């Protein structure tokens, strides 16, 4: 029985050592804000809960042979994903594209009517808009609708419009997205 207790203790200890280590490692990739750390911790806790559910479900429903096959397939998929991320240099590339996005947003949107502030962090940019009296968030929603009709997905968040392209975005794709957002902002009354 003590072997089981030691195994559980060791696995929990290693998990909770890896969690802050990975969080500290990826923090600079995504801008280093406290929200990144909080998101990382939430992700790890959610994955831990999902892992418990997975262990319970496979143990209750699958034979040991089927469990071994499933574990082997999932492990191979994880290794292939890590190789792909390394080969594509995905996170460093996202950092470079974040700089391109930030420069494009600040260059195209600075000085437009009703724009109160522009922020960019990593591969996300937000444009804060002036509020309409009694209609909080209305301008951001109008910009969202206009951009959506033109094929660019932005997210209205209160008085902010957030643009967050995928990690695989190319510089040639950033400029049309930002110009669509700028055109929608120019149309505001």
CATH level 2 (architecture), domain 92-186: Alpha-Beta Complex (3.90)
4 exposed, middle or buried (CB, 10 Å; 0-12, 13-18, 19+)?
A: exposed
End-to-end CA distance of the chain: 72
Residue ranges matching CATH 3.90.1150.10 in the chain: 92-186
Quote the pLDDT of residue 119: 92
Of 20-24, 48-52, 61-65, 172-176, the range with the lowest mean pLDDT is 20-24
Across the chain, what does the average pLDDT equal?
A: 88
Task: Determine contact, residues 123/97, Cβ cutoff 8 Å.
Answer: yes
Percentage of residues in the chain having pLDDT higher than 70: 97
């Amino acid at each position: 029985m003590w072997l089981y207790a030691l195994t559980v203790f060791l696995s929990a200890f290693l998990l909770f050592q890896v969690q802050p280590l990975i969080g500290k490692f990826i923090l600079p990739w995504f801008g280093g804000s406290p929200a990144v750390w909080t998101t990382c911790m939430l992700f790890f806790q959610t994955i831990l809960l999902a892992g418990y559910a997975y262990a319970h479900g496979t143990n209750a429903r699958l034979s040991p042979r089927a469990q071994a096959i499933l574990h082997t397939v999932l492990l191979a998929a994880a290794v292939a994903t890590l190789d792909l991320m390394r080969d594509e240099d995905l996170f460093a590339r996202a950092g470079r594209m974040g700089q391109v996005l930030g420069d494009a947003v600040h260059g195209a949107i600075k000085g437009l009517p009703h724009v109160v502030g522009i922020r960019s962090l990593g591969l996300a940019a937000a444009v804060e808009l002036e509020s309409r009296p009694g209609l909080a968030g209305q301008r951001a929603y109008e910009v969202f609708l206009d951009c959506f009709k033109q094929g660019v997905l932005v997210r209205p968040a209160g008085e902010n419009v957030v643009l967050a392209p995928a990690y695989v975005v190319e510089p040639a794709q950033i400029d049309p997205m930002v110009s669509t957002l700028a055109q929608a902002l120019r149309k505001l009354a």
